[in-house]
Chains A and B, each alone.
Chain A
Amino acid sequence: MFPSDPSKRNSFQRRICDGDLVIVYERHDNMKAIKVKVGSDFQNRYGVFKHSDWIGKPFGSKVFSNKGGFVHLLFPTPELWTLVLSHRTQILYLADISFVISYLEIVPGCVVLESGTGSGSLTTSLARAVAPSGHVYTFDFHEQRAALAREDFIMNGLESFITVSVRDIQGEGFPDEFCRVVDSVFLDLPQPWLALPSAARMLKQDGVLCSFSPCIEQVQRSCETLRHNFTDVRTFEVLLRMYEIREGRMEVGRNGVPMVLKPHKKRQHLSSEGECEDEERPTIMAKPCNEARGHTGYLTFARLACT
């Protein structure tokens, strides 16, 4: 996903090879991660696609099925991975992930601790942020989930940046070997306050911690405990509102009165080849989507106090 060798990054020169992971894009809400293998097929409602047809093409290409339908093949990124990965647990999405990574000041070279691993959505983005010289140590108490996450990271070529361990962080804290070596800690636990004293020991001077909790009672308890060893305790909510666009026409009646909206099919060319009647103008209109995510969790950040 992010190559340790810069010459292997996606570029005009890069071609899809046997063994590559590609993101098969049907629609914005319909994507799958597929490992390319000579001789294999990919099937969907548009038909059958041969993997061998994909090999040798650049990422971003449009490829066709035996029935003439098509999909696009995209280069995997952590953002796309978040949208296609299999959910073993509730995951973090783009709005929270982007905020956490920036607020935790994670840059290449950082050492980051995470618990729990869950489905590895955030972990993948953390790995991108610390690469090439940093590392993510992630812990989950659920052995099977840890194993599945480990497999995903290997499939994405990230195993050199991520170490998955099975451990009960709430009960045992983080391992002593990380004392004062860690730049940032991220917690997504049911009772994060139990892990805070240990986290405080792991962090370097001025290190930053983030705790993600869906419930306000968890946040209250965490903040109370944080104030013992941490400063700058702040809690946020982040969300994204989406918009959809439509093409329509405003009709002005002959006697100047009624304005009627007639939605046209999307994807019609704006520069309608001389179809415009006298008082018609094509318009693009944006409107918020009807559905939205109302809540994911509260993000509480704190900085280890200087001593």
Chain B
Amino acid sequence: MAIESACGVSPSQKTSQANHRVTWEGCSVLLDINDGDRLVFARLSSAATLKIGNKKCSLRPLIGCPFGSLFRVEMGANGSHLARCYSSCILAENAATMQDKDYLHPSSEMKDNRSLFDNNTAQSLSSEDIDAMKRLFDYICEAYFKKYPTRIGSLRFDALCLLLSMANVGAYSDVLVLDMVGGLLTGAVAERLGGTGYVCSTHFGTSRNPIDIVRMFNFSSEVNSRIVQATFTDLCIIRENDSTSFHQDLLKTEGDIKNTKSMDESIQETNVSSDRSCTSHEIFNAETRGQSSPQTDSNPPIEDDEGISVSSTTVKSISPGRQASSELVNSWKERGFSSLIVAAPEIEVGSLVQKLLPLLSYSAPFAIYHHCLQPLAACMHRLQASKMAISLQISEPWLREYQVLPSRTHPHMQMSAFGGYILSGIRICSDACNGSQQN
């Protein structure tokens, strides 16, 4: 059976889907320098540069290459430049060194930042390699977890994966999130929605939770348009279907975008030193300067059924996190959200969850991530007592990585001891509402 007919999508269509395989001018990449020694977020443009050792190299050669490409610093007539190297020579080197019993594999020892060995052979193999440009959420999560965990509430990758599965995130879902982990959760949910459904990032009070990390994902406009924000109060009130108020919100957002500095002008230079504060600075800069530089369409937006603006000549890029329209909010009131994920690792969850659960459809799953066990236990008890949920479970994820080498297989010496706790459950129709019709 031909693949095209089986899934109804021709190969060319698939290549334009969310899984971009090749970099483009303006995209965000994660550069893994010297096999985990240094991780840098960068935005690729012809003007962007990167400092390695005492050499400054243009990032232009990286544009148009597949994600996962490997580059080496080489000396040329005009100074140092990055040259793409193809894997056959690298793999041959790897294979050769595997046989050397005295050699310590760089990827296992150097990734342990506090390596006990200072072995010169390990250093010399890959001193100037820039490996792999990676951009999907597993690398984003790992990079932040390693270098700047407080920004993401120490949300470890496996914990994030669990949240997505427990909350049954998939196409056409309307997922409600309380994201106080910088946008990592919102981005991960949006990726799994693949341009369908919505992820609504909510907050109590007036100040929005920052979701800058979403920009690291390089989402298309289609996916970005599915990422919206709404205050908790907005979600509770049924408003008049008022398209004009949405227009005002949209114009406001466009104004913000035009005022933002273009990323192209501001790629920072980086220093080689393994100075931790420097690396944090790089990630921090990449994030705060991560305002996209779209050229917004001057045509008036056209609203589709759900009140989300779609320009017929396509807005060059839609910024994620726009205000949800009143039509959208009303549809959620009518149908309920498909699921709820809360990642507010340090705030009081008990009352928060009690307020958010009524926004979910009956039989909708939810998952709450928190740093501490006790608040989740109290929350679980409250939910049991009020009969708002069943299938309640508190779990703690455990993750261990292994080094696998001939005669040298063992778990990594370092491991993360803490991945948080997760309370999961399913909202039910309590006795009071059993059998009543919802409109």
| Chain A contact residues, CB within 8 Å of chain B | 2-3, 6, 9-14, 25, 28, 57-62, 72-75, 77-79, 94-95, 97-99, 101-103, 105, 107-111, 125, 128-129, 131-135, 137, 163, 177-178, 181, 183, 204-206, 216, 219-220, 223-224, 227-229, 231-245, 247, 266-270, 284-286, 298, 300, 303, 305-307
Contact A2 B172 (CB under 8 A): yes
Task: Please name the 7 residue pairs, one residue from A and one from B, whose CB atoms are nearest each other, closest first.
Answer: A60-B362, A108-B194, A60-B363, A11-B335, A98-B165, A135-B7, A12-B438
Bound-state Cα–Cα, A306 to B85, Å = 9
Name B residues whose Cβ lies closer than 8 Å to a Cβ of A: 1-3, 6-9, 11, 14, 17-19, 21, 66-70, 86-88, 90-91, 94-95, 98, 132, 136-138, 157-158, 160-162, 164-166, 168, 170-173, 188, 191-197, 334-336, 338, 361-365, 373-374, 376-378, 380-382, 384-385, 390-406, 409, 421, 426-429, 431, 434-435, 438-439
The reply to whether A238 and B362 contact each other, CB–CB distance below 8 Å, is: no
Interface contact B87-A307, CB-CB below 8 Å: yes
Contacts known (A11-B361, A58-B362, A133-B8); A241 close to B398, Cβ less than 8 A: yes
Query: Within the complex, what minimum Cβ distance (angstroms) separates B422 from chain A?
Result: 9
Residues on the A chain within 8 Å of B393, using CB: 28, 242
What B residues does A285 contact at CB under 8 A?
A: 377
Q: Which B residues are CB-close (under 8 A) to A75?
A: 363
Q: A101-B165, A128-B170 are in contact. Are A135 and B91 (CB under 8 A)?
A: no
Q: How far is the CA of A60 from the CA of B433 in the complex (A)?
A: 11
* With A79-B168, A243-B395 already in contact, 16 other A-B pairs whose C-beta atoms are closer than 8 Å: A2-B170, A28-B391, A59-B362, A101-B161, A108-B18, A111-B14, A135-B7, A137-B6, A177-B2, A177-B3, A206-B67, A227-B91, A238-B398, A238-B399, A266-B384, A305-B87
A98 x B21 contact (CB < 8 A): no
In the complex, which residues of chain B have a beta carbon less than 8 angstroms from the beta carbon of A177?
Answer: 1-3
> Do A240 and B396 contact each other (CB < 8 Å), given the known contacts A2-B170, A109-B9, A109-B18?
yes
Q: Are B18 and A62 in contact (CB under 8 A)?
A: no
Q: How far is the CA of A72 from the CA of B392 in the complex (A)?
A: 14
Residues of A with C-beta under 8 A to B11: 181
Contact B69 A306 (CB under 8 A): yes
> Min CB distance, A242 to chain B, in Å?
6
Q: Which residues of A contact B402 (CB under 8 A)?
A: 219, 235-237, 298
Shortest A304–chain B CB gap in Å is 8
Q: Is the CB of B3 within 8 A of A133?
A: no
B interface majority secondary structure? mixed
Residues of B within 8 A of A59 (CB): 361-363
Write out the residue numbers on chain A whose beta carbons fall within 8 Å of the beta carbon of B335.
Answer: 11-13
Residues of chain B contacted by A270 (CB below 8 angstroms): 381-382, 385
Q: Which residue of A lies closest to B394 (CB)?
A: A243
A132 and B390 contact, CB distance less than 8 A: no
Shortest Cβ gap from A299 to chain B (Å)? 10
Q: Are B69 and A220 in contact (CB under 8 A)?
A: no
By beta carbon, the residue of chain B nearest A60 is B362
Given known A-B contacts A6-B197, A58-B363, A231-B87, A107 and B173 have beta carbons under 8 A apart: no
Determine the chain A residues whose CB is within 8 A of the CB of B391 once the complex forms.
Answer: 25, 28, 74
Tell me whether A183 and B7 are in contact (CB under 8 A).
no
B192 touching A60, Cβ below 8 Å: no
B157: min CB distance to chain A, Å? 7
For residue B402, give the distance in angstroms from its CB to the closest CB of chain A: 4
Q: Which of B1, B7, B373, B435 sits near A133, CB closer than 8 Å?
A: B7
Please, which residues of chain B bring their CB within 8 A of the CB of A236? 399-402
B164–A98 CB distance below 8 A: yes
Number of A-B residue pairs with CB-CB distance less than 8 Å in the complex they form:
275
Given A59-B363, A95-B162, A235-B402: A240 in contact with B376 (beta carbons within 8 A):
no
B429 and A58 contacting across the interface, CB-CB below 8 Å: yes
Beta-carbon nearest neighbor of A78 in chain B: B168
In the bound assembly, the distance between CA atoms of A219 and B401 in angstroms comes to 13
Shortest distance from the beta carbon of B253 to any chain A beta carbon, whole Å: 25
| Residue in A108, A223, A307 whose Cβ sees the most chain B Cβ within 10 Å | A108
Q: How far is the CA of A185 from the CA of B197 in the complex (A)?
A: 27
Q: What's the nearest-Cβ distance from chain A to residue B364, in Å?
A: 7
Q: Whole-angstrom distance between the alpha carbons of A241 and B421 in the complex?
A: 9
| Least distance between A236 CB and chain B CB atoms (Å) | 5
Which residue of B17, B66, B69, B160 is within 8 Å of A102 (Cβ)?
B160
Within 8 Å CB of B136, what residues of A? 105
Residue of A nearest to B404 (CB): A223
Pairwise interchain contact A286-B338, C-beta atoms closer than 8 A: no
Q: Are A286 and B429 in contact (CB-based, < 8 A)?
A: no
- Known contacts A109-B194, A224-B406, A227-B91: does B395 contact A241 (CB below 8 Å)? yes
Bound together, the chains give a CA A135 to CA B10 distance in angstroms of 12
Contact of A306 with B398 at beta-carbon distance under 8 Å, contacts A57-B435, A108-B195, A206-B21 already known: no
> Are B334 and A305 touching (Cβ within 8 A)?
no
> What A residues does B431 contact at CB under 8 A?
62
Which residues of chain B come closer than 8 Å to A98, judged between CB atoms?
158, 161-162, 164-166
In whole angstroms, what is the CA distance A205 to B362 when docked? Answer: 42
Judging by beta carbons under 8 Å apart, are A239 and B398 in contact? yes
Bound-state Cα–Cα, A28 to B426, Å: 11
Report the bound CA distance from A11 to B405 in whole Å. 51
Cβ-defined partner of A77 (8 Å) among B365, B376, B385: B365
B393 to chain A, nearest CB (A): 7
Name the residue on A nearest B425 (C-beta): A28
A107, A133, A137 — most chain B CB neighbours (10 Å): A107
In contact, B18 and A107 (Cβ under 8 angstroms): yes
Given contacts A60-B429, A72-B428, A227-B91, contact A306 B70 (CB under 8 A): yes
Contact A306 B86 (CB under 8 A): yes
- Are B2 and A227 closer than 8 Å at their CB atoms? no
Shortest distance in angstroms between A9's beta carbon and chain B's nearest beta carbon?
6
User: Which residues from A are CB-within-8-Å of B157?
Assistant: 102-103
Chain A residues whose CB sits within 8 angstroms of the CB of B137 once the complex forms: 102
Q: Which residues of A contact B381 (CB under 8 A)?
A: 245, 247, 270, 284
Which chain B residues lie closer than 8 Å to A77 at the CB level?
A: 168, 365
A134 near B7 (CB under 8 angstroms)?
yes
Is A220 within 8 A of B172, CB to CB? no
When distances are taken between beta carbons in the complex, the residues of chain A under 8 Å from B406 are 220, 224
Q: Residue A3 contacts which of B91, B158, B172 (CB distance < 8 angstroms)?
A: B172
- Min CB distance, A252 to chain B, in Å? 20
Contact check, A103 vs B138: say whether CB atoms are below 8 A apart: yes
Q: How far is the CB of A105 from chain B (nearest CB, A)?
A: 5
Q: Which residue of A lies closest to B11 (CB)?
A: A181
Cβ contact within 8 Å between A105 and B138: yes
- Which residue of chain B has the shortest Cβ distance to A94 in the bound complex? B165
Closest A residue to B411 by CB, please name it. A237
Known: A205-B21, A238-B399, A267-B384. A243 touches B373 (CB 8 A): yes
The reply to whether B409 and A10 contact each other, CB–CB distance below 8 Å, is no
